[in-house]
Amino acid sequence: MLTVFSAGGAPVGGSGKGAAAAATAAALALTMLAPLPAAASTVRPPRLSWRPCPANDPVEKAALRGMECATLAVPLDHSRPRGRKIRLALSRIRHTARTYRGVVLLNRGGPGAHARDLPRFVTGNLDKKVAAQYDWIGLDPRGVGGSKPALVCDRSYQDPGRPRAPYVPRSAAEERAWKNRARRFADDCARRYGWMLPYMRTVDSARDIDYVRAALRQKKVTYFAYSYGTYLGSVYATMYPHRVRRMVLDSVIRPSAVWYPSNLYQNVVFEHRIRSYFAWIARNHRTYRLGRTRQAVARSYAKVHRAVTRKPVNGRLGPSELDDVFLNDGYNDRTWPSHARALSAYLVRRDPKPLGRLYHRPTWLDQNNYTVYNAVECRDAAWPRDWARWHDDAWRLYRKGYRFETWSNTWYNAPCAFWRVPGGPKPAVRNRRGLPPILLVAGTRDAATPYPGAVETHRLFPRSRLITQVRGGNHGVTFGGDRCVDRAVAAYLATGALPPQRKGTDLACSAPPPPKAGTGRRDRRTGPAAEAAEGEPVAAAAR
């Protein structure tokens, strides 16, 4: 699952079990690629009309104050440019320097993540001289956030008004109940948005990007994206190589593994990441008293899991909600101290209040994110339609020891088994003549978009440069406190300067250390790909 989330690649440094899972996922990825889609219509869109953003935006609240906002009508089906239209919502922070380098389109990931708040985040963290040279554009993709229509299907799937059953089914009846709920979600989406679901592919969003480029009256655009946004960027670069000025792709999706195989990969790599977190808690036993070894901490977590299954905290946080909260620790280590402290309070001091405060009901934006996640991924590529395949793959990985995310990830994606619009074929991602060098950024221990995704994309785009954050496990690297990465990204955006090309990794940066125990403070800034996952139910990265 990606939120910003929500996938690609293979387990990093895994055991033989991890290698077996990787081999299985690789075999699943051997599907036909679609030919390159035809270019979008040559109909010229109107210029964007920018106005001050509202002080209290219906979706972003006060986050857009001081920025400019606009909407753009785009074709639902770009092959019929004069047909039905939908509307995209955009935000902007304008350049202030004499040197003007054009526009940067920003994407947080998802699929389904909002982006209109991103211009302020990026300009607030990027080198000021570089930030001043661009117009920064936050674009809510089709179906997302402030764009119209914004898709939200059966909200009870994620929020039934009571604790959900455990993700790991304890009986055939429980598995059947989960499966039926997933089917109802898919059916509700078809009933509400059947007219739009065929046009929710990544290629449709890529065409939207080019339509926005034309509306901005730009010959070329710079594109900066996290997580799923890297796949969208790769597709855009394949479709419109001559329209790319520069491109930064952070936490990179593996194109050959979208989407069912990528979720199998995630189940393996998230297990390694959670084990790293439990090992960190064990190293800080004097603070948390949850066990002196990783295995002991895992037993403490299991004990809490059983307890909230019997008696949910605040009547809302049950076993699935507990797993949702702690899944965030696989995305980013900034949550490690506060989550360990809450677990300790519950188990050691018998105080459930800190744990209860960690869970928040899914907001409208969370539900919108989840709906669009399914609408894009279920449409992009073929998914197994025989539930026996899902059942067998989930239990196989679970019994091999990949337990933390396997079943939650299964239910997160389960609507795709029943989606009314067939998926695929997925578009080709490949190098095209005229494409400039792009910059890839990836951590070797990222669980949401495992490192081999960046390696594969680096190979597919031979002129690209790969910045590797060695031992980096956080999802969303740029502006996460690594000066080595941030300097390289700033230099590229400023002048197009790239690290010298080397075999394999072109620039290696060392990941910052994990946070200190007991503080609960944010020990470093974090990128929006990680922030979007915070607090979301079973969140993406892609992902």
100: tokens are 């003007």
Query: What is the phi/psi pair of residue 58, to 5°?
Result: -55, -30
The DSSP element (H or E) to which 393 belongs, if any, is: helix 387-399
Facing residues of 482 across strands? none
242: tokens are 């001559």
Q: Is the dihedral of CA 223, 220, 498, 206 positive or negative?
A: positive
Active-site residues, by number, are 227, 446, 475
Q: How far apart are CA 414 and CA 186, in angstroms?
A: 9
Q: Is the dihedral of CA 529, 24, 425, 421 positive or negative?
A: negative
Edge-to-edge strand list for the sheet holding 85-93: 51-52, 68-75, 85-93, 135-140, 103-107, 221-226, 244-250, 439-443, 465-470, 507-510
Residue corresponding to tokens 């104050």: 65
Q: How far apart are CA 323 and CA 317, in angstroms?
A: 10
Q: How far apart are CA 244 and CA 432, in angstroms?
A: 11
Q: How far apart are CA 224 and CA 251, in angstroms?
A: 11
Measure CA of the first residue to CA of the last residue in the chain; give whole Å: 5
Under 8 Å between Cβ of 203 and 381: no
> Distances in Å between the alpha carbon of 211 and those of 26, 51, 81, 93, 204?
34, 20, 11, 20, 10
Under 8 Å between Cβ of 192 and 153: yes
Peptide bond into 52 cis (omega under 30): no
